[in-house]
Amino acid sequence: MALIVQKYGGSSVADPDKIANVANRVLKGYMDGHRMVVVLSAMQGETDRLINLAREMGDPPDPRELDVILATGEQVTVSLFSMFLKAEGVHTTSLLGHQACIYTDKAYGRARIVGIDASRIKELLKKGRIVTVAGFQGVDEVGNITTLGRGGSDTTAVAVAAALKADLCEIYTDVEGVFTTDPRVCKQAQLLPKISYDEMLEMASLGAKVLEIRSVGFAKHYNVHLRVRSTFSEHPGTLVCPEDEEMEAIPVSGVAFSTQEARVSITGVPDRPGIAARFFEAVAQANIVVDLIIQNSSVDGRADITFTVPKGDLLRTLEIVQQVGKEVGTREILSDEHIAKVSIVGVGMRNNAGVASRMFAALSQAGINIMMISTSEIKISCVIEDKFTELAVRVLHDAFGLDQPRVGKG
Ligand code: ASP
Ligand code: MG
């Protein structure tokens, strides 16, 4: 008999029939003798609808009141779900964030969980109940309702699983698990039976949307075994877990891509201590997150700096850089929105030589020029022209043998 936390996303609870389907899945686990805690998202589209509704009262809406309205999406699904189970004669209790004692800081709209008092959930489980917890929401120290940021129900599920020391946390969604790359871009994409926390963190930050990134960090920190699987099939999905030898033998586990960034180049920057700091401090002060940075070696005491920022922050970045550029004296400031970042990820990169050269060779054979490169221990990213994104993904997927079905046990 295990303690299992199951989280169902918005598409799994999109209407009453789907909620009934979820309830039957949960019931199956319960009948098998497991203790079941269920975390639910709002119905698909509901959170967006509530945001738009709030905007009609003035844009941007007041952050505190926005969290009050957003929390109602999950309140609806946990109550409907519990009504269905009760009508079937099953003992169940729904809990909102504050009732489940999910404590957060007071950063409305992007609150962090600071602690969970799991004693009420434990007590209900002891009484043989199925416990249903509203995802995405918590309460701050003075009782204000907070929300965790978009996709935050994944984090609720993992945090509740950690607090309960659950045996497993299953994240149910509308895809079968984590794939080697986006199956919409590359038909040969394969389902991964398992992936390490670090690889999943990289994949999530590089644009793979199957799990919210904060939940993966949480899972790693508390060693929660996560399984990502589909609500609409019996496939076991993908296990997200600590690294093992089998994973280390494979140099590349997946290919990720993003077209959400833009490139800024500053040419003729005076090559003296403190100049780069001037630019990047000013950008950071505006809360703009810089991703890749390269600086070429200087000629005649002047260098070029190129970096990427989220597309939505490009205009503000250019204003800032132009201002600092005037103060320190530069030649030109250029920008390019037509870029993409393609990345390969794998813990096996650490002890397999030649991974980078294979990546560059594969791109060059396809006639794709590399504009920027960045690496970490388990990732290599290249910035290319965005019109080549899909081609690059397919070429890299093929070059690293990812088209072959994975056999390892998840
Ligand atoms: N309902 C929230 C959202 O749409 C939280 C979640 O679904 O995880 O972002
Ligand atoms: Mg989600």
- For residue 74, the ligand 1 atom closest to its alpha carbon is 1
Q: What is the pLDDT of residues 276-300, one digit of tens each?
A: 999 999 999 999 999 999 998 878 8
pLDDT at 405: 83
Rg (CA), the chain: 24
Residue 134 has pLDDT above 80, yes or no: yes
Q: Determine how β-strand 226-230 pairs with β-strand 168-173.
A: parallel
Compute, in angstroms, the gap from residue 112 CA to the centroid of ligand 1: 15
Tokens for 235, please give them. 């496939």
- For residue 41, the ligand 1 atom closest to its alpha carbon is 7
Interatomic CA distance for residues 294 and 369, integer angstroms: 16
Strands of 362-402, DSSP E: 372-376, 379-385
Q: What is the pLDDT of residues 35-75, one digit of tens each?
A: 999 999 999 999 999 999 999 999 999 999 999 999 999 99
**Ligand 1 atom 6 nearest Cα:** 151
User: Which class for 273: exposed (0-12), middle (13-18), buried (19 or more C-beta within 10 A)?
Assistant: exposed
DSSP letter at 233? S
CB 316 within 8 A of CB 288: yes
CB 396 within 8 A of CB 341: no
SS3 35: strand
316's enclosing H/E stretch is helix 314-328
Q: Which of 316, 327, 313 is nearest to 277 (CA)?
A: 327
- In sequence order, the β-bridge partners of residue 385 are 339
Q: Which of 4, 75, 24, 8 is nearest to 46 (CA)?
A: 75
Burial of 293-325, coded b for 16+ CB within 10 Å and e otherwise, reads eeeeeeeeeebbbbbbbeeebbeebbebbeebb
Q: Which of 169, 167, 138, 158 is nearest to 219 (CA)?
A: 158
**Ligand 1 atom 9 nearest Cα:** 150
Peptide bond connecting 60 to the previous residue in cis, omega within 30 degrees of 0 = yes
Interatomic CA distance for residues 274 and 265, integer angstroms: 18
Q: What is the pLDDT of residues 208-250, one digit of tens each?
A: 778 999 999 999 999 999 999 999 999 999 999 999 999 999 9
- Number of Cβ within 10 Å of residue 142's Cβ equals 6
Q: At what angle do helices 355-365 and 389-399 cross, to 10 degrees?
A: 130
Tell me how far CA of residue 5 lies from CA of 34, 165, 306, 377, in angstroms. Answer: 10, 10, 45, 32
- For residue 48, the ligand 1 atom closest to its alpha carbon is 4
Length of the chain: 410
- Number of Cβ within 10 Å of residue 38's Cβ equals 30
- For residue 212, the ligand 1 atom closest to its alpha carbon is 8
Q: What residues have a C-beta under 5 A from ligand 2, the ion?
A: 9, 151
pLDDT at 299: 82
Per-domain residue ranges for the chain? 3-174
SS3 for 57-94 is CCCCCCHHHHHHHHHHHHHHHHHHHHHHHHHCCCCEEE
Share of the chain above pLDDT 70, in %: 99
pLDDT band for 409, please (50, 70, 90 cuts): low
- In sequence order, the β-bridge partners of residue 315 are none
Residue 8 has pLDDT above 80, yes or no: yes
The residue whose two tokens read 């799991």 is 118
Amino acid of residue 180: T
Share of the chain above pLDDT 90, in %: 92
pLDDT at 205: 81
pLDDT at 410: 66
Tell me how far CA of residue 344 lies from CA of 201, 212, 252, 383, in angstroms. Answer: 13, 19, 6, 12
SS3 229: strand
Q: Which of 204, 216, 181, 199 is nearest to 250 (CA)?
A: 199
Interatomic CA distance for residues 148 and 214, integer angstroms: 10
CB 158 within 8 A of CB 219: yes
pLDDT at 408: 66
Compute, in angstroms, the gap from residue 71 CA to the centroid of ligand 1: 10
Within 6 Å (CB) of ligand 1, which residues are found?
Answer: 9-10, 41-42, 47, 73, 135-136, 150-153
Compute, in angstroms, the gap from residue 313 CA to the centroid of ligand 2: 24
Q: Which of 7, 11, 12, 41 to mutate to test the pocket of ligand 1 (most atoms within 8 A of CB)?
A: 41
Chain-wide mean pLDDT for the chain? 95
Could you tell me the pTM of the whole model?
0.89
Q: What is the pLDDT of residues 377-396, one digit of tens each?
A: 999 999 999 999 999 999 99
Break the chain down into helix, strand, coil percent, rounded to 5: 40, 25, 35
Residue 149 has pLDDT above 80, yes or no: yes
Residue 185 has pLDDT above 70, yes or no: yes
Q: What is the pLDDT of residues 306-335, one digit of tens each?
A: 999 999 999 999 999 999 999 999 999 999
Query: Domain 3-174 sits in which CATH superfamily?
Result: Acetylglutamate kinase-like (3.40.1160.10)
User: Which class for 58: exposed (0-12), middle (13-18), buried (19 or more C-beta within 10 A)?
Assistant: exposed
Compute, in angstroms, the gap from residue 250 CA to the centroid of ligand 2: 28
CB 107 within 8 A of CB 42: no
